[in-house]
Structure 1
């Protein structure tokens, strides 16, 4: 068992199999300014250039020590492909939305997916990036790609006000947008799997209780997850920001092998609910701890995550851009220290 590669350990953890030690990585964004300065691959250009994106993503493994390569660094690929407008952001700020296509119910009712998704600008960039990374990294390292999920796609398409209003007044209309989102996620994720990606993370925070009441999660979102996970041809992870406590049970029944949760969801309680139905991923605070605290405190809290039931040790959400690489290295080191201390 001690001879496992990082990829074997990662995949076995997702599959609920025995490992020598939990993997330590990030299934969410890994681009930090210090890595950008070292590699010369900087935001916002690294969001749109395959070579730069690949270089920055690989640095999370080769320089910071994370046991996976994860890309991209933003959540805008699908929304921009569907007609949303974004500001590109800066070296330490993510791209942010300026406009959306479904301003009225009529817009939403008539909205359709663009033809030939694989040839759209942003998705072509992502597919090329996957190929570059696979060519550059060892086959012993897992490659993880992220994309937003059905609820988040509906949110980006309709805007926050419409999303919150329609989930009460016209849930069928919102469900239509989610179904379109599911179709896109299936096609896009399988294109990535064909290019060697080992796991796809579906980021669907707008499905969580912070925005969507849990009964609507079960009614509107869960059926889409069942369809999505049944059609994805590779390992699949769900990430939901915020406090996901009230939807942990349906999340565990969604078909996702891994559930990535933020620090606001108590990990030990999550383990008691989820059990062995899925691998829990998380949930060190990326802002309150990984960005801001001493390396000793980072290690202490990371070890507690393992103790509380993390099957993959990871930040609870995307790593903050100004996080020091030293802190990420301490986070990685905490895993090995934990097992040494356990004897």
Structure 2
């Protein structure tokens, strides 16, 4: 089974010969930028540089994926928000929202022609032509809740949950079109997987009740609209959200180490593949290859389906640490003996009983 088939099968809940290492989040580093001559912030706006840098995790660390774009501001820029373009080790971010209320905001009819969207689409084409037969070409789109925070200002938008809940739904009914349109465009240009990143819907900011009311219906709509393997990534503590995320329809859920794998497995069951959840800072950035190996083995023993960092890697992460993650996945053997199979069966039974 080649790397690409292994990842796609694991995402779809199918048979694999081993657990794959795969990051649906951004895995590029400053050293990769230097080697590829495609540093930030320039490579955010140049398709050839973007594609060249996106290929580096595979070329230098053996990670069988290429992910573009590298930031969460692609959609916000196209919608009219002002950006801080960041630095070589910091991604662009929204500096100024573009609207104050939902009735003063409309999605432009020429969305795909605005900002850097065509740059990202062209990078997908380049990656598919050069690497598409070997690795997964992963397109990262921003989720509708996070886009709404960018458009209206995060503090302002979140305050509407209590003061003007109808504003939240009106805003989401518009920003969801951005997520869906961009996902369709990425697939049309050759992406294999669409990874929806919606960090503002984190359990650190929303209760499970608020997620169910204001985010879940839109995540379910997005997942249903994407005719390809899909993942959802939400940062922070997401335990209260998991019973709802289980029923969104995404193929995989990427989560941080704030939720342990056994708990996630119990709450998500077999309805969605688990992706994670090695700490991107304490382990991937600051840890040794030996620490990464130990934590990766524990993650896989506990039932992770695709081994990954729990969130986007720091651009200062040592490449050797990414190699250690890949090696851990390559060397881990799936349960084979009677005792191992019984333990795995027990975990599956517990997961199946979770409601």
Q: Do these two structures clear the TM 0.5 threshold for a shared fold by scoring above it?
A: yes
Equivalence for 1:65: 62
- The answer to whether the 8 A contact 1:208-1:214 is kept is no
- Can you list the C-alpha shifts for 1:253-281, whole angstroms capped at 9, x where unaligned? 00101000011111111001111100000
| 1:270 has 2:290 as partner | no
Among 100, 112, 115, the alignment partner of 2:109 is 115
- The answer to whether the 8 A contact 2:7-2:22 is kept is no
| 1:100 has 2:97 as partner | yes
- C-alpha displacement at 1:122, in angstroms? 1.5
- C-alpha displacement at 1:123, in angstroms? 1.1
- 1-structure distance, mates of 2:140, 2:305: 19
| 1:184 has 2:178 as partner | yes
Alpha carbons of structure 1 residues 161 and 325: separation in structure 2 relative to 1, 3 Å: same
- The answer to whether the 8 A contact 2:9-2:15 is kept is yes
Among 64, 69, 74, the alignment partner of 2:71 is 74
Alpha carbons of structure 1 residues 17 and 78: separation in structure 2 relative to 1, 3 Å: same
Please, what TM-score do these two structures have when normalized by structure 1?
0.95
Q: Alignment length, in residue pairs?
A: 337
Among 235, 249, 263, the alignment partner of 1:255 is 249
Give the aligned CA root-mean-square deviation in angstroms.
1.4
Please, what TM-score do these two structures have when normalized by structure 2?
0.92
- Can you list the C-alpha shifts for 1:113-159, whole angstroms capped at 9, x where unaligned? 01122222311111111111111114121111111101101111111
- The answer to whether the 8 A contact 2:74-2:115 is kept is no
- 2-structure distance, mates of 1:256, 1:322: 30
- C-alpha displacement at 1:164, in angstroms? 2.1
Alpha carbons of structure 1 residues 61 and 282: separation in structure 2 relative to 1, 3 Å: same
- 1-structure distance, mates of 2:162, 2:95: 25
Structure 1's unaligned 5+ residue stretches are none
- 1-structure distance, mates of 2:274, 2:110: 35
- C-alpha displacement at 1:60, in angstroms? 0.9
- The answer to whether the 8 A contact 1:92-1:321 is kept is yes
- 1-structure distance, mates of 2:25, 2:284: 14
- The answer to whether the 8 A contact 2:276-2:304 is kept is yes
Equivalence for 2:286: 292
**What is the SS of the residue equivalent to 2:151?**
helix
- Matched ranges for 1:215-230 at <5 A: 215-230=209-224
